[in-house]
Structure 1
Amino acid sequence: MNRRHFFRNSSLALAGTGLIGPQPLFAASAQKAKNIIFLVSDGMSTGTLHMANLYCERTLGRSSHWIQLYKDRKASRGLMDTQSANSIVTDSAAGSSAFGGGFKVNNGSLNIHPDGRENMPIWQKFKKAGKKAGIVTSVTATHATPAGFCVTSKSRNAEPEIAEKYLELGIDVVMGGGDEHFNAEHRKDKKDLYAAYAAKGYEVAKSRDELQKISAKKPLLAIFSSGAIPYAIDRENDPELKKTTPSLAEMAKSAIEVLSKHQNGFVLQIEGGKVDWAAHANDIAGLIYDQLAFDEAIKVAIDFAEKDKNTLVIMTTDHGNANPGTISGGKASEGFDSIRNYKKTNEWLLNQITKDTTASQIKDLIHATNGFAPTDEEIKSIKSYYDDIVRGEDGLYNYKKVPFKLYSEIQKKYNYIGWISMSHSSDHVEVAAYGPGSELLQPYCMNTDLHYLMLQAAEVPNSF
């Protein structure tokens, strides 16, 4: 059957019913994609992509894997509009729902159309087409971005219910953090979801060692932490965390190992969720190192796709965040290179300080962690937040009210990294594709377009 006619007919059968989205008319793909790996660096502004590559070039002596794909002309590339149904600035729930459901929805909801209609998530469509489906993330497995490919929910915050929905839907790989949503000791309803998954035939892993020992012959639930998984730089510089917690690339490799055994193919979403959290905190070490961890997951996906020859790999983000970037100055190069001396995230550093920490101790802590010696005035401004802890900064994922913004402004004097805010932004973002179906990617697209691109590339009709 002609592939253009296959997809068009399956879509037009529902035309006028309100059940399909505003689809672009793609040209026919030359080859069917058996598998799809969709990678999302959550909250990745273009400056984040650039600085990760700059760090690779200046410190590691190579390009990032994402940028190398561009240099080798192996990937299609486009700019993508990310706005949601009710705002030019999307949140992660609406952003993922655009990919997942093919429609723009209101911020905060998962695949619920503004008129109340439920949009079937794309991984459900692929499951109905006979493929295995999985999600991998560095935040909670039930967070907005992975959930947007799998479930419908009026609220992205219904994470305990989302954990149950994954099991009901038979999502074949569920991997990330979020023990509190699976553990009977922490769930309000006292349901033991670990036992429930195991009863349905899932292997359950709760550590890096257990992940490395899975048989890869059964569905997999792998939850490694309460809340999000530790930042990549904190994991890298903590032997215990490195021993017990897998990297995003290791999780991606295990997920592919489980899913790729299925003869009818698979679909997998991989999210670098803490890139977004670091941007919210204006935390440059957290940002760059988690983007690099995401970049290593890209390598895992591309290595598999190059060998497999039947896998479409898509790399993008759901939205920008804080628009970080290198700024002009006589020591801009030297300042950027100083980031290689950072040993921990700002989150880790600022949570070491209490109202009883002395100025001298703060100075020593910053020098040991970031490699520079703050001035007395800078130390005084930091200490003032802890003298009256109630006054600490607000901000998403700033649960302990530490002075993220203040400290990033101090760091800027030494590393020449600027930020426009601590919030999401509306700018166009990068999207790239490799493998069969990558030629369908247009130079400019809406986030909803990727939903239909995936369906066409794999010849899965939009008619369930």
Structure 2
Amino acid sequence: MNRRDFFKGGSLAFLGTTLLSPFDSIAAITDAKLNGKGKIAKNIIFLVSDGMSTGTLNMANLMLSKKTGKSSSWISLYEQNKVVRALMDTASASSLVTDSAAASSSWGGGIRVPNGAINVNADGTENTPILQKFKRAGKSVGVVTTVTATHATPAGFSIASKKRSDEPGIAVKYLEIGMDVVMGGGLEHFSPLLRKDKQDLFAVAANKGYTVVNDRKSLMAQDGPKALLGIFNEGALPYSLDRASDSTLIEKMPTLAEMTRQAIKTLSKNKKGFVLQVEAGKVDWAAHANDVGGLLYDQIALDEAIAAVIAFAEKDNDTLVVITTDHGNANPGLFYGPQADANFERIFNFKKTNNWILDGVNKDTSVTAFIEKVEAAQGYAISKEEAGQVLMHYGKLDEKGLYNPRNLPYKDLALLQTKYTSVGWGSMDHSGDYVELAMFGPGSELLKPFVKNTDLHNLMLAATGVLA
């Protein structure tokens, strides 16, 4: 079976040292490149699998290899020795374990900030985000994500904000600084019907020359407009697995790869180049939920985007591609047992995520109905005792929590699910692990084997010859 067949229909549808010492300078690195030691990159595409522990990358590759006979695009780059590879320290200014706001700010502003802040230091001073630096240098800039377009990771490249939670304010700032491409979810932060201040940011964007699109068909009809604002859903986009088995969602919601290709089509019209961040944001959300179907299929969605980006970069020869994550999350893995292979292969036939299962249940759902729901969604039958263990939590749901506002029993379902998938979890939160980092194209020769997250800020400036 080839890769294209794997992604058609149903769930199968988708399947010590730092870069710069205190005595080094960006100018010195740039001079060295100009003197023939390296080529200046015209463009940068920065791909982020948010919250990707090493086990996530591993299992997505196992899944693709087992089903299609081919490695993932990410692992193929390793196998073919096409990239420079490193480990990255992801700590923030306030903790060894970062959140996404501080992590992206480390890349974006080049300085570690406290968790929860976006390019704002503990003393209240602000660091200039890298997309603003590239914008001043004449390049086009953009962000693409599967969560809200105003979420922490895209924002960390783009703006400064004391609170990552101020997404309505972040939306305003995007338009003020003139982002050339913004795509993802977050209708509530742009629509006058949903914003508390009733501002119509779609109208503001249109007046500034943006082409505004709200569905997949409209997006795919674009042939590289001057500027593009694509907001496709209230809240985040659906999980890739749930989208793949729902014809309505397939028609309305673009994939991450489709958004990425359209972003490149728009941004690459600038002769001075462009810088684009692409985020698979729901990998992180699935890890927080210990949702293996959500996790692996969204990781594979990023892998499709990686393939599209590498295809562009190989043809272009002027593009530095960065592939990484901002931090680990939940440390999932496939664990030994006599049925490990067969159990893992069950995930190949999942039609729905744990999120879909649990969000569609309430305190009146019967044990029998829940067993049937799980079997229809994921192909295995849990026991009455296991179903009852999960259902007992629906009498005490609340609306608190960033990633789990209904306090759904994700952990309980994940724990019983391990028996059927052989996938286990270390936690339901971020980790302080060093993470994977790979670079392809001009500028990749600057990468050392072990770096801090802040080093990437200086590397990107040096790779493009842009001085801060």
TM-score between both structures, scaled by the size of structure 1:
0.93
Amino acid at match of 1:201: G
2:67 — aligned with what? 59
Residue 282 of structure 1, CA deviation: 0.2
Verify: 1:389 aligned to 2:396, yes or no.
yes
Alignment match of 1:452 (pick from 450, 453, 458): 458
Report whether the alignment pairs 1:98 with 2:106: yes
1:278 maps to which of 286, 289, 300: 286
Distance 1:60 1:360 in 2: 35
Once the two structures are superposed, the pairs formed by residues 305-324 of structure 1 within 5 Å of their partners are 305-324=313-332
Aligned to 1:116: 124
Q: Residues 182 and 395 (structure 1 numbering): CA distance in 2 closer, same or farther, change over 3 Å?
A: closer
Kindly indicate whether residue 161 of structure 2 is the aligned counterpart of residue 160 of structure 1: no
Aligned residue number for residue 16 of structure 1: none
Shift, 1:217, TM fit = 2.8
Q: Deviation at 1:370?
A: 1.1
Which residue in the other structure is 2:146 paired with?
Answer: 138
Q: Equivalent residue for 1:375?
A: 383
Residue 76 of structure 1 corresponds to 84
Contact 2:48 2:279 in 1 (8 A): yes
1:333 aligns with 2:334: no
Aligned to 2:47: 39
One of 298, 301, 304 as aligned partner of 1:296: 304
SS at the partner of 1:270? strand
2:213–2:230 contact (8 Å) kept in structure 1: yes
Structure 2 stretches of 5 or more lacking a match?
Answer: 1-19
Match of 1:170 in 2: 178
- Cα distance 1:437–1:292, how it changes in 2: closer, same or farther (>3 A)? same
Residues 47-82 of structure 1, C-alpha deviations (whole Å, 9 max, x = no match): 000011010011122100000000000000000000
Deviation at 1:117, TM superposition (A): 1.8
Q: Displacement, 1:27?
A: 6.8
CA distance in 1, matches of 2:416, 2:26: 57
Aligned residue identity for 2:420: Y
CA contact (8 A) 1:40 1:316 kept: yes
> What is the aligned partner in structure 1 of residue 12 from structure 2?
none
Aligned to 2:14: none
- Bigger drift between 371-380 and 148-157 goes to 371-380
1:163 partner letter: A
Structure 2 counterpart of 1:209: 217
Does the 8 Å CA contact 1:393/1:404 hold for their aligned counterparts?
no
Match 1:410 to one of 405, 410, 416 = 416
2:276 paired residue among 268, 271, 278: 268
Q: How much does 1:30 deviate? A: 1.0
Q: Give 5+ residue unaligned stretches, structure 1.
A: 13-23
Q: Would the aligned equivalents of 1:44 and 1:320 in 2 still touch at CA under 8 Å? A: yes
Residue-pair matches, total: 444
Q: Provide the C-alpha distance between the structure 1 equivalents of 2:237 and 2:32, rounded to a whole number of angstroms.
A: 40
Instruction: Answer yes or no: is the 8 Å Cα contact 1:314–1:431 preserved in 2.
Output: yes
1:400 corresponds to 2:414: no
Q: 1:43 to 1:10 in 2, by over 3 A?
A: closer
Q: Does 1:427 align with 2:424?
A: no
SS in 2 for 1:110: coil
Task: Give 2:329's aligned amino acid.
Answer: N
Q: Residue 244 of structure 1 corresponds to which residue in structure 2?
A: 252
TM-score where L is the length of structure 2: 0.92
Deviation, 1:379, is 1.3
396-405 vs 229-238, which deviates more?
396-405
Tell me, in whole angstroms, the C-alpha distance in 2 between the residues paired with 1:167 and 1:365. 43
Displacement of 1:253 after TM fit?
0.2
Is this contact kept in 1: 2:27–2:462, CA < 8 A? no
295-304 vs 326-335, which deviates more?
326-335
SS of the residue aligned with 2:158? coil
Contact preservation (8 Å) 1:280, 1:396: no
Superposed displacement of residue 397, structure 1: 1.0
Instruction: Determine helix, strand or coil for the equivalent of 1:217.
Output: coil
Distance 2:133 2:210 in 1: 21
1:41 and 1:275 in contact (8 A); partners too:
yes
Contact kept in structure 2, 1:393 and 1:403, CA below 8 Å? no
RMSD: 1.8
How far apart, in 2, do the equivalents of 1:440 and 1:266 lie? 20
Distance 2:237 2:297 in 1: 14
1:271 deviation in Å? 0.3
Quote how far apart the aligned CAs of 1:125 are.
Answer: 0.5
The SS at the match of 2:164 is coil
